[in-house]
Every structure is written in C-alpha cells, then in structure tokens.
Chains A and B, each alone.
Chain A
Amino acid sequence: MLPRCDIIAGMPSVLLVSSNGAGMGHLTRLLAYGRRMPADVRRHVVSMSQAVPVVASEGLTWEYLPSQGATGLRPATWRSLLADRMSEVLGRVDPDVLVFDGTHPYSGLDVALAAHPRTRAVWSRRAMWKPGRNGAQLDKAAWFDVVLEPGDLAADADRGETVTAAATRVRPVTMLDREDLSDRATARAALGLPADGPLALVSLGAGNINDTGDEVGAAVRALRSQGVGACVTAPSIAERAYAGDDVHLVRHFPLSEHFRAFDHVVTAAGYNSVHEALRLGVPALLVPNDATSLDDQVTRARHAAERGWALTARTLTGGRADALVEELVARGPELAARAQAQDPGNGAADAAQEILRVAGLAAAPGTGTAS
C-alpha cells in the first residue's frame, strides 16, 4: 500500500535534478548520491533524460521535464517553461535541498530557486572540461549554496576551466562498489548471456550523440577474431541499437551490477564508463568520443593509458582494432589490477553526506574544500 501524502509531508526530502546530457551519466551520479542517504530521506527526481523511469528501480519517484532540444521550443520560451515547472515542483515538494547535476545550470532554475528560498541548492558538476570552454557557466555557482565536484581519476591531467574554481571536492563517484557486484554466474544468467567463454562489453558512443556503428562493428569483428564474444549495450535512450550476428544485446540498470559477466570492456571515455571500469576492475580499452561538447574524454583516456590503467585508441576503424583487442586480451588484467591498486575509493557517500549537511540534515563530512 502506498504511503499517504500527509505522512510523507513531515519527512526530509531531497530533490535530484539532472540535465538531459547524452547518456546516463547525470542520472547515475545522482542515484549514487541518493542510494547513500538514510531511508527516511525522501528522494525525488526531476530529469530531462528520457531514461528517467529507471530511477524507479531504486525506489525513487520521478518526473520528466522535456529538454529544449526535445521540444524544439525557442530557448527563451523553454527557459520560461523550466522556471514555471521547477517553481511548481519546489512549491509542491518543498525539498530541503535541490541537487542539480549538469555542466550547464539553465537560466530559469535560478528564478525558481529564488522564489523558494527555504530550499538549499547544490551544483554537482564534474570536472575535465575541454580547455577554454564553458567558463562563463562557472559564474552560476552563485545560484547554489555549494558546488560539489566528484573527483576524476584523470584530475592531474585536467586543464579545463573548473581546475581553479571553488568547489567541495570528493573522491571519484560511482554508483556501485565491488562488493555490490553479482558473481559471474549470476551476472551472466541475469543478462541472458552464455555461462562459459570470454565475453567483452562494447559500449561505444555516449547515448545518441553520434553514430558509432563503424566503431562497434570494428570492435565486434576484432573480438570475434580473438575468440571473445561481444555484448553491446542497448540503452533505453539510444535511437537505435547495434544488432548483428553473434552480438548479445544487454539491457540492465545499473549494468555495472553485472560487470563480472565481462572479461573485457571496450568503451567510450565518459566519466561513468571510465570510473566504473577502472574502479570495478574490468580490463578496458577506452575509445574517447571527441564529439562531446564539453567532456574531455580524450584527455581522460590518455591519462588512464599513461598511468598504465587501461589501453586507449582514438579509433578502432582503419584496421586498428585487431592489434588493440589482442593487446587488451593479453595485458588487460594486469592493467586493471594496477588501476584497482591505485583506486582512492568511492566518493559517493561523502557527497551524500555533504548534500545532507547543506540541507541541515547531517553533520559536516570529511570532505576537502578547495578554492
């Protein structure tokens, strides 16, 4: 039986707001925070991602707010819609704190927050911006009580605008830790995969940003030549999923829960993909997507390769895939072990604690504040 509103009304609540982005990164990060909050804290999601219904699997309620791109509205009209919509949600939910995860806080959010001053506000924004880009957005930190920056394993190579910006920085954030993973047999059964034989997860392209069909095809062919079966992600937001002979389509959220099903991963170099592969110990070949507007995937992947945590290549096409996959099979486990040995741990719990502190619901955590 569903709880009644008048019971829920007295509970502390957190409103998790994500921009649409290209993949699942913003939502996943918010869920990483949300699942580390006490059970008596109500967590409600407002997202511009059409993948938002997945949050129900975490027991969270959700609402969809279409992005400007999804509607085709004029930017100014959409910002007005955003302001009205967020004002209505803030008035109705009356959350103790709003957490916005995205690199571009939209005008209109400030209007809604100003109209609801009781609610504290946190900007969760990852780093690794392409150098020289998006700097003007940092001024929007003034809309928020705190800027929370999930750490990046490639932070030493970061040359983007956020490097010198004030933020509360925590260790890299992933939704799961190794102890949360299912065992290999359970994972393969859950995903409908063969129980035996080597398998690789191929996760190229950030959602529907661009067509990576050729990269996927090259990866699958090279894996097959090494006797490795290919598993391709079929995210719910993808316009189309690659389906070819001998390719297993896998669909689960969070897929990382079943990472032990895979012996290798060939993946784009987005924040979540890289940190999940490295932190959870899956030998990885990183193929950065340079078509993203802001995320510096090339630098993140190059740094991981330089540190000896993973392999990287700008493209698998043009006959490059065979040698790369051969090297992945041969050296991948050694690289993955090195990455795990240097893993600083998951910052998600620290981030959750910081959010609750800002909301006045918890004491200050042991996070580092840089300025």
Chain B
Amino acid sequence: MTPTTSRTRQQQLARWARRAPGYRTAVDRVLPAVRRNATLTDVVFRVFLPRHGVGTLPVPLVPGRHLSGRDTALLPVVGIVGLGLSDDQVGSLVEEVATLQRAERSFRVLLVLDRPAFALARSHGYAVEVLVPHAAWAGHPQGASPPVPWEDYVGRRLADVLDHYQLWHLARSTPEGRLDPLDEVLLRNVAARLPASLQVDTAPVTRGDP
C-alpha cells in the first residue's frame, strides 16, 4: 500500500467514524469523563502497566537528517530557542545542537528562531518556527487595543509551540548563540533515561548536510 493510499484510507475511516451515531457523545462526554475518573484510570494502570517516561510514546515530528533507525519517533522533542541572534550566531547554535544530537542520539530538534534561517534548517532536516523579531514588532500591524507587547506575543507563541509539538524541554541559547550550559548538561543526560531497547543510529552524512 502506498503512503497516499494509506492516508486516503485513514481519511475515509476518520470520516466514517465522525459520522457514526454517538460520535459526538463519545467525544464530548464519555472520553472526558473516563479521563477524569481517578478510579478508572488507576485500574487501567494496574491492569496494563503502561510504560511511561521519556522514550516510550511516539511524538510525530520530522526526524531530521542526523538520526535514523526504527525508534527515532520515540525520541523526545526538544525546542531550541534562539532569539535576538545574528545569522552567524544562529548558524553556530544549530551546528552545536546538531553535533550534540549526533553524539547523544537521544532527542529530536525543533528550532524556534526569529530569523528566517530556512535553508539552514533544511540542511539539517529540522522543523523551524519563526517568531517576529523584537526589532520588527513595532512595524507589524496591530488592531488589538491595547497593542500586544512583544513579550506577551513571545510567551503565547512559546506556550503554543510547547503544547502542539509536545515538547519535552525548551532549551535556550545564550546571548552569544551558545546552548545554555544548563540545557546542554540536561541534554547530555537524556540518553540514560531512554529505554535500552530503542534502536536509534547516527545517520550517515548525506549530500544535504552542511
């Protein structure tokens, strides 16, 4: 089955499910009630002993060019925030992260920048979110009254990114474009927490690599 055919069938199945009698009741009432029921939840955990913790649940995100293997989708996703940096600093930050990623094989990367470093992100295969830079904020149209301060915009956007990408951690750069030392040491300690059975390899260097 080709990916296109598979996706078409998934869409058909989803449409069928959404049209099924009782769908809305199940989604709006039954599922939330089950999730909120502490007794039911406890029983499920006692019976099925679901594994929890980092590296046990797949989180969809493009894998990037540096890692390969069966279980890359189980690696935690780490946001790398680099705001207010120059192009060179962004380049060195991303290179530092990529080197760490290849060495540790323990996390995937989402870049959160305020520069359109799309070619750089593509060369590593990283997804990238781009925020409006502080210096450009005053020139952006705002109809909201009172206007939204840049800091509030950044806060809301980071919360949005954390939530939708299911980030395990949000690491920050220093003003000089280095990975914050605390974040670096944290990322060096992820691998020890991953299930030993994970199959993740360092991908061979390809033409797209910088």
Contact = CB atoms under 8 A, between A and B. Distances in A.
Interface of A is mostly: mixed
Residue from B118, B139, B141, B160 with most neighbouring chain A CB atoms (10 Å): B141
A291 interface: no
B122 interface: yes
B79 to A, nearest CB: 12
Nearest to B145: A9
A237 B118 CA distance: 9
Contact of B60 (A6, A74, A80): A74
A66 interface: yes
Given A72-B60, A81-B160, A8 B116 contact: no
B139 A239 contact: no
A88 B156 CA distance: 9
Given A66-B128, A81-B160, A88-B160, A53 B116 contact: yes
B148 interface: yes
B64 to A, nearest CB: 10
Nearest to B139: A2
A133 B182 CA distance: 53
Interface stretch (B19-27, B37-45, B99-107, B130-138): B130-138
Given A4-B138, A72-B62, A9 B143 contact: yes
A13 B128 CA distance: 27
A11 B128 CA distance: 32
B164 A80 contact: yes
A19 B164 CA distance: 19
Interface in B110-130: 116, 118-119, 122, 127-130
A44 B208 CA distance: 33
A52 B138 contact: no
A61 B140 contact: yes
Interface stretch (A89-97, A165-173, A178-186, A335-343): A89-97
Contacts of B61: 71-73
B148 A92 contact: yes
Given A64-B116, A72-B60, A72-B61, A95 B143 contact: yes
Nearest to A208: B122
Interface string A114-150: 0000000000000000000000000000000000000
B138 A2 contact: yes
Given A92-B153, A94-B144, A5 B164 contact: no
Given A66-B128, A66-B129, A94-B143, A85 B138 contact: no
B127 A71 contact: yes
B197 interface: no
A84 B160 contact: yes
Interface in A53-77: 53, 61, 63-64, 66, 70-74, 77
B147 A5 contact: yes
A35 to B, nearest CB: 17
A93 B143 contact: yes
A50 B130 CA distance: 10
A93 B132 CA distance: 13
Contacts of B160: 81, 84-85, 88
A72 B64 CA distance: 10
A334 to B, nearest CB: 41
A16 to B, nearest CB: 12
Given A71-B127, A81-B160, A85-B160, A61 B141 contact: yes
A93 B142 contact: yes
Interface string B154-186: 001100100011000000000000000000000
Contacts of A50: 116, 118, 122
Contacts of A72: 60-63, 127
A12 to B, nearest CB: 10
Interface string B63-86: 100000000000000000000000
B118 A8 contact: no
Contacts of A8: 140-142
A3 interface: yes
B140 to A, nearest CB: 5
A42 interface: yes
A92 B153 CA distance: 9
Contact of A63 (B118, B132, B142): B132
B130 A61 contact: no
Interface of B: 60-63, 116, 118-119, 122, 127-130, 132, 136-145, 147-148, 153, 156-157, 160, 164-165, 208
17 contacts: A3-B138, A4-B138, A5-B137, A6-B147, A8-B141, A8-B142, A9-B144, A42-B141, A53-B116, A61-B140, A72-B62, A72-B63, A74-B60, A81-B164, A84-B160, A88-B156, A92-B144
Interface of A: 2-6, 8-9, 11, 13, 42, 44, 50, 52-53, 61, 63-64, 66, 70-74, 77-78, 80-81, 84-85, 88, 91-95, 236-237, 239
